[in-house]
Structure 1
Amino acid sequence: MSDNKLVAEKRTQFGKGAARKIRRDHKIPAVMYGHGAEPVHITLPGHDTMMALKVANALLTIVIDGDEQMALAKDVQRDPIKPVIEHVDLVVVRRGEKVTVDVPVHVEGEAAPETVVTIDAQTVQLEVEATHIPENVVVSVEGLEAGTQIKAADLELPAGSTLVLDGETLVVNVTAQISQEALDAELAEAEEEAGIEHEEPTETAETAEGAEAPAAEAPAEEA
């Protein structure tokens, strides 16, 4: 995974007001800690940080007063509405150090016809070397039949990775596709159990299909 170099500035002002001012300047408040060192409060460049953190588990190189330090984003607080990062917690890492990360699952291939592939675990927790964090764990479902289950222990892990997640955790599940008739039957059964009844539409002489029109009265005979 390539490094992302971010030039940071040390912060001396704290609190909500200071954080709002930082964000108004298109920057991001952050704190960096780890390896027994005192936490360092910093300000990161907004656009470059957002671009770097688009990739899961991005390895960052933080430059403070000319000194470089590798770090991983431990927690990223995002605005629930706006595409804005409000705060970042960074954990210091060193080359050769093992770290525990959640790596996304990526499914490839086409399962057997009339099947549905469900990803039950979107990520798997691995222990990896800090400078060699895999972008994803690839799972092939090519030709798999309904009833196939892939558990964490079955995964082919990237080189140098160790599984931390429980090996019995279901990751990918292949099931039979349910037909429309089966869905309708399940719905009808559920409605019957719930006591739901559907009223039949009332037919009238005017709307009933095939209803005969009333016979015309015969003209009265002249006297």
Structure 2
Amino acid sequence: MSEVKLSAVLRDTFGKGSARQARRTAQTPAVIYGHGTAPKHVSVEAHGLMMALKTPNVLISLDIAGDGNELVIPKAIQRHPLKPVINHVDFLIVKKGEKVTVEVPVVTEGELAAGGNLLETLLTTVSVEAEATHIPTEVTVSIAGLEAGATVHASDLVLPKGTTLAVDGETPVLQVVAPQAEEPAAEAAEGDEA
């Protein structure tokens, strides 16, 4: 995973008013914390941040004006409920070589066996532990030829080297179910007459 470089400036004012002012100037308020350091309140260029956050678990190198660089990952993102705007981000400081626990999207590939079976997704993401600089962007699972009744568990997922599961291996991720037959219309009509 490559690093995304963004610039930031320290903030010394807090609250709704200063957050609104930052957003008016195309900045997104954020907090950086972790590794026993005091939280740093910063403003990050909004458009660059929004583009970077399109990648799950993106590794960001923040160049903080007058305060050096911090390597961070997004921990919590607050989005506006109606507009395509990020209101606030909490960043977690990470170090190269350090292991972090993150949620990684599960992506399927292939086609189910013939017969009209349905794929039921039980988990859209799976929790894994990986080195901060080598977080996988997704975990791909093949569903090719799976029959009704088949279940894919977390332990069945093929993870990249250096990545381990942070959930119980028996946790179901996907399952294949047979299509449900609909009740015939004639029986439903008889039930209405009674």
Same fold by TM-score greater than 0.5: yes
Q: Which moved more, 1:157-166 or 1:80-89?
A: 157-166
**Which residue number corresponds to residue 126 of structure 2?**
124
**Which residue number corresponds to residue 77 of structure 1?**
78
**Which residue number corresponds to residue 161 of structure 1?**
163
How does 1:67-106 map onto structure 2 within 5 Å?
67-106=68-107
How many correspondences in the alignment?
Answer: 192
Partner-residue secondary structure (3-state), 1:184: coil
Instruction: Output the CA distance in 1 between the equivalents of 2:91 and 2:143.
Output: 36
Partner-residue secondary structure (3-state), 2:48: helix
In the superposition, the TM-score normalised over structure 1's length comes to 0.81
Displacement of 1:184: 2.9
Structure 1 residues 29 and 112: CA distance shift in structure 2, 3 A = same
* Counterpart residue identity of residue 21, structure 2: K
Displacement of 1:185: 4.0
* Counterpart residue identity of residue 38, structure 2: E
1:64 and 2:59 matched: no
Query: Which of the pair has more CA radius of gyration?
Result: 1
* Counterpart residue identity of residue 6, structure 1: L
1:40 and 2:34 matched: no
**Which residue number corresponds to residue 183 of structure 1?**
182
**Which residue number corresponds to residue 107 of structure 1?**
108
Instruction: Output the CA distance in 2 between the equivalents of 1:185 and 1:48.
Output: 56
Q: Which has the higher contact order (CA 8 A, sep 6+)?
A: 2
Q: Which runs of 5+ in 1 are unaligned?
A: 200-223
Deviation track 1:26-79 (CA, whole Å, cap 9, x = no partner) reads 110000011001000000000000000011100000001262211000000001
Instruction: Output the CA distance in 1 between the equivalents of 2:128 and 2:179.
Output: 32
Q: Which runs of 5+ in 2 are unaligned?
A: none
Percent of residue pairs identical: 48
Displacement of 1:134: 0.3
Instruction: Output the CA distance in 1 between the equivalents of 2:172 and 2:8.
Output: 41
Instruction: Output the CA distance in 1 between the equivalents of 2:147 and 2:30.
Output: 48
* Counterpart residue identity of residue 138, structure 2: N
**Which residue number corresponds to residue 55 of structure 2?**
55
Q: CA RMSD in A?
A: 2.0
Displacement of 1:119: 1.3
Partner-residue secondary structure (3-state), 1:94: coil
Deviation track 1:133-182 (CA, whole Å, cap 9, x = no partner) reads 0011111001111111011112111111111112121101011123xxx2
Instruction: Output the CA distance in 2 between the equivalents of 1:115 and 1:124.
Output: 24
Structure (1/2) with the larger strand percentage: 2
Runs in 1 of length 4+ with deviation above 6 angstroms? Answer: none
